[in-house]
Structure 1
């Protein structure tokens, strides 16, 4: 007679209980960080189908202006000026140039310190301008940043100019 041994219920194994406890602790920790820490920390994601930063799906937004800013950093700010019509609470872009960097925009290419950071001006028509109207050859002034998204349709500094450091609401850190 073949009698099969009963299969233990995995829900009561010590390993599964530790997993539930770890998930609970992680949830509590996240709540503490989100609601009681200074500076305020929130989660941000790009709700658009055409993502400006396609490799970034979820970011941790730290609501404190950074002391130093470097190329490649992620910064966010509240939309104003040319971006005032955006419905998002914050705009998130990547720093491509900092004060003292040399920006050259010519023939549809944006170069910073001789390196191409973005190409094309597909949104120029929405600004009622030609791509050549955005040409420039200058040094980024103190207290300003050149911000980009890597998607060709990113509405970034190539169209509306530099981001003033005083507008920066904080830094973002890519989660995934």
Structure 2
């Protein structure tokens, strides 16, 4: 009888070990599909992102909703598909963009961009007047307006180029901008939807190299969901 109990204990132990290993592998695969780490290389998102910082990019959210104005996104660079850039979305499909000097207008509304520090303000490019963002394209700019190669120079970012949304800075610790990137949707809250957008729709560089909002909650909750499911299974 004692031998049977010992065998039963060993069997349960082995089963729990195998389940834990499988669960760990599954979590690793899912998390890697949901998020990706990047190293910031360059100054063009100062002061929001610093050179050599490590950021976590949410690759899930944009399967649930479209990219929004104010989001910081990582994307395949239109000027060089071998590179990834990180910039902030300023204009979405249908928006009318006007940039004259340091004044940025979306649908004839001047933006009060709290994320642009005055010491980084500037515009080395030609004025843009009433440029319509095409369907499935986005207009992006770096927060360091003096030192950013962005849509002012090379045009729009196709939707399919966007890898995901930069959710948080996780390294180095205790830096002045570590943690989740702030929500800046209030900057765009008073921008009206272009009334004619459905008619208008037609079909130093800041780089990142491969090494969260609503979507951030989702991908950070994934491990917890699997652990809860595992516990429930064991209780049964």
TM range (shorter): 0.5 to 0.7
Q: Which runs of 5+ in 2 are unaligned?
A: 1-23, 170-177, 179-236
Q: What aligned pairs does 1:67-146 form with structure 2 within 5 A after superposition? A: 67-80=65-78, 82=79, 84=80, 89-107=83-101, 109-113=103-107, 114-116=109-111, 120-122=122-124, 124=125, 131=126, 134-146=127-139
CA distance, structure 1, for counterparts of residue 66 and residue 55 of structure 2:
19
CA deviation after TM superposition for structure 1 residue 98, in Å: 0.8
CA distance, structure 2, for counterparts of residue 97 and residue 77 of structure 1:
15
SS in 2 for 1:166: helix
Task: Tell whether the 8 Å contact from 2:77 to 2:161 is kept in structure 1 after alignment.
Answer: no
Aligned in 2, Cα 1:70/1:156: closer, same or farther, shift over 3 Å? same
Task: Tell whether the 8 Å contact from 1:96 to 1:147 is kept in structure 2 after alignment.
Answer: yes
Task: Tell whether the 8 Å contact from 2:40 to 2:55 is kept in structure 1 after alignment.
Answer: no
Asked if 1:169 corresponds to 2:163, the answer is yes
Task: Tell whether the 8 Å contact from 1:45 to 1:58 is kept in structure 2 after alignment.
Answer: yes
Structure 2 residue aligned with 1:36: 29
The CA deviation string for residues 58-96 of structure 1, in whole angstroms up to 9 with x for no partner, is 32123457131111112211224x2x18x7x42111111
Count of aligned pairs between the two proteins:
132
CA deviation after TM superposition for structure 1 residue 163, in Å: 0.7
Aligned in 2, Cα 1:64/1:78: closer, same or farther, shift over 3 Å? farther
CA distance, structure 1, for counterparts of residue 166 and residue 101 of structure 2:
32
TM-score of the aligned structures, taking structure 2 as reference length: 0.47
Aligned in 2, Cα 1:78/1:167: closer, same or farther, shift over 3 Å? same
Aligned in 2, Cα 1:77/1:64: closer, same or farther, shift over 3 Å? farther
| Superposition RMSD in Å | 2.9
Task: Tell whether the 8 Å contact from 1:110 to 1:158 is kept in structure 2 after alignment.
Answer: no
Task: Tell whether the 8 Å contact from 1:53 to 1:93 is kept in structure 2 after alignment.
Answer: no
CA distance, structure 2, for counterparts of residue 61 and residue 41 of structure 1:
5
